[in-house]
Amino acid sequence: MDRRCFAILCTLLRTTGGLVGTEVVDVEEMVAMFLHILAHDVKNRVVRRQFVKLSDTVSRHFNSVLNVVLRLHEDCLGALDGTYIKVNVNATDRPRYRMRKGEITTNVLGVYDTNGDFVFVLPGWEDSTADSRVLTDAISRPNGLEVLKGYYYLCDVGYQNVEGFLAPYRGKQYHLSECHGGGNASTTTREFFNMKHFSARNVIETAFGLLKERWAILRGKSYYPMQVQTRMITVCFLLHNIINQEMNIVKMPEDLDKVDSHSATIGLDEINYIESSNEWTQWRDELVHNMFFDSELRNNQ
């Protein structure tokens, strides 16, 4: 984060979020301490020495900035996926949060748009929870993920192919080199669709990688309580957006192969539950057929 972006963030937190400094610590120093903890994954005692503050002061201002940043949340459409972030939970809950490799993590749902922003995030679910269940929770909770009928998110095979969520075909493989080699190397319409789907949706994997690279607190074993940790995860996503918007660091590839993102059907109602249907399955098949033969036509011209 450069100085200009830092100044913009402080102004946002002061004017929009209502963050107020004290006689001893101004807003800029509060935010600097907060960002230092997220970016370097250091404990309060380290910040206390570096900023010459009392431990209680560091803790109090950390939570103040944490709460204010959470007020800057936003919503939109895009691709979605889950990622795993290490957390600290009670001993009795550890089996539910334990990954196969033994790490204790939470399953975080993230939604990413074509501008390079995360537009929805839902941390807190156990590692053992199926992605489809996390998604069901996301769209059913108050102020949850908004999905208008007639539009969809791209998602991977861990999710059901249902209205509002376009998944690839199961069991249809392709070579990753096909995604970047140009032309239509796939032998079937479904393989071709899966290749294009992967290429369009893979940007969210890159975004998760950049997010974790930027905020070290998302990479290491957490020493914060679970409730605080899930709030910090959300804040890291929001700060990612601010840095992206103000510094123009994240750029979507101009030559990215995209799955047709036009509306699937006509309607303005929201999707409030996940339900498979023959209509949605047939619509995907028609979309795949049209995409494949449009590509064949262009290649033969």
Percentage of residues in the chain having pLDDT higher than 70: 83
The whole-number average pLDDT for the span 125-132 is 84
**pLDDT at residue 185 in the model:** 55
Decide if pLDDT at 262 tops 70: no
- CA geometry: angle 122, 125, 129, nearest 5 deg: 120
Mean pLDDT over 195-206 rounds to 82
Cβ contact 110:208 at 8 Å: yes
Q: Measured between alpha carbons, how far is 103 from 87 in angstroms, rounded to an integer?
A: 9
Q: How many helices (H) and strands (E) does the chain have?
A: 11, 5
Mean pLDDT value of segment 245-274: 57
Average pLDDT in the 147-164 region? 86
DSSP 192-250: HHHHHHHHHHTHHHHHHHHHHHH-GGGTS---S-HHHHHHHHHHHHHHHHHHHHHH---
Tokens encoding 143: 């102020």
Per-residue pLDDT, averaged over 54-66, amounts to: 90
Q: Where are the domains of the chain?
A: 3-72
> What is the pTM for the complete model shown?
0.78
Work out the pLDDT band at 221, boundaries 50, 70, 90: confident
Q: How confident is residue 23, by pLDDT bands cut at 50, 70 and 90?
A: confident
Other C-beta atoms lying within 10 Å of the C-beta of residue 47: 23
Mean pLDDT of 43-49: 86
Residues in the chain: 301
Give me the chain's average pLDDT, please: 81
| 2 contact partners, CB below 8 Å, separation of at least 6 | 247
